């Protein structure tokens, strides 16, 4: 799974940079040469596909979005399975959590292979990821698998990022994923998984690492958002 952008650093029309470079957004974004590094998400260079940008059609009926819908639908199933066991989450709950988490990589690979990028996928994936983090935190809180203060900080951070993303979209500011946010995903998700299979010590260490990176990412998002807001010209006033 990869933490997704809550935007791209300012107002940007779909494919604007690509057209300025002499091509169109689809050619540079959707048809970029698919290397092994790009396939697995290690190479994220270049502009995002034009189909994912603000103002593009949602395009819900794609293979990657089908995976995304399945991930979203499995989150309440995970919660029911994990919370219904009085002695704590069992192997099935941990497997469900892992499947939902790794599904993020699956829909990303599917999008790059089929070139079925969509605005809906760009909006749905980060929401699903944050819901999964909050769900994992709820389960670990309920059974005291990880320090509750750290879980509370992490859950508050995720909810704050949703609010920040909504505020940015309302003001024409989009923020691109930063290095800290990308690095935070694996230890955060790993902390929940290892705690649920009984390796609480490993999970606790991973939680602290992931939380530190996640908070650093949030600070960078706020910094970049404020810069983008200051750089955005005010709307022209109309005179009677």
Q: What pLDDT is attached to residue 3? A: 58
In angstroms, rounded to a whole number, what is the distance separating the alpha carbons of residues 75 and 81? Answer: 10
In angstroms, rounded to a whole number, what is the distance separating the alpha carbons of residues 133 and 78? Answer: 12
Q: What pLDDT is attached to residue 240? A: 44
Q: What number of CA atoms fall less than 13 Å from residue 185's CA on the CB side?
A: 19
Residue 31 has pLDDT above 50, yes or no: yes
Quickly list DSSP for 157-206.
HHHHHHHHHHHHHHTT------HHHHHHHHHHHHHHHHHHTT-HHHHHHH
Looking at the domain covering 16-229, what would its CATH class be?
Answer: mainly alpha
**CA dist 219 to 15, 54, 178, 224, 231, Å?**
28, 24, 10, 9, 19
- Mean pLDDT of all residues in 87-103: 92
pLDDT tens sequence across 212-237 = 999 999 999 888 888 877 876 665 55
Length, in residues, of the chain: 240
**For the chain, what is the mean pLDDT?**
81
**Residue-range domain boundaries for the chain:** 16-229
Q: Which residue has the higher pLDDT, 145 or 159?
A: 145
In angstroms, rounded to a whole number, what is the distance separating the alpha carbons of residues 216 and 160? Answer: 14
∠ CA(156), CA(4), CA(112), 5° rounding? 155
- Mean pLDDT of all residues in 5-26: 40
pLDDT tens sequence across 107-155 = 888 988 988 888 888 888 888 998 999 999 999 999 999 999 999 999 9
Whole-model pTM? Answer: 0.76
């Amino acid at each position: 799974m990869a933490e997704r952008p809550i935007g791209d650093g300012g107002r940007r029309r779909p494919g604007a940079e690509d057209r300025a470079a002499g091509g169109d957004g689809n050619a540079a974004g959707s048809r970029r040469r698919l290397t092994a590094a790009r396939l697995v998400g290690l190479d994220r260079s270049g502009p995002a596909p034009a189909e994912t940008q603000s103002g593009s059609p949602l395009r819900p009926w794609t293979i990657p979005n089908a995976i995304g819908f399945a991930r979203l639908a499995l989150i309440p199933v995970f919660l029911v399975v994990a919370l219904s066991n009085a002695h704590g989450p069992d192997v099935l709950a941990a497997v469900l959590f892992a499947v939902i988490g790794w599904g993020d990589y699956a829909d990303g690979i599917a999008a790059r292979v089929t070139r079925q990028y969509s605005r809906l996928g760009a909006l749905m994936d980060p929401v699903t990821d944050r819901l999964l983090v909050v769900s994992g935190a709820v389960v670990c809180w309920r059974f005291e698998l990880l320090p509750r203060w750290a879980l509370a900080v992490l859950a508050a951070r995720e909810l704050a990022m949703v609010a920040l993303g909504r505020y940015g979209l309302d003001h024409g500011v989009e923020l691109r994923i930063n290095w800290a946010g990308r690095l935070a995903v694996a230890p955060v998700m790993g902390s929940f998984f290892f705690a649920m299979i009984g390796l609480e010590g490993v999970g606790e260490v991973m939680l602290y690492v992931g939380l530190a990176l996640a908070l650093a990412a949030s600070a960078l998002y706020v910094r970049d958002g404020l810069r983008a807001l200051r750089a955005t010209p005010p709307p022209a006033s109309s005179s009677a």
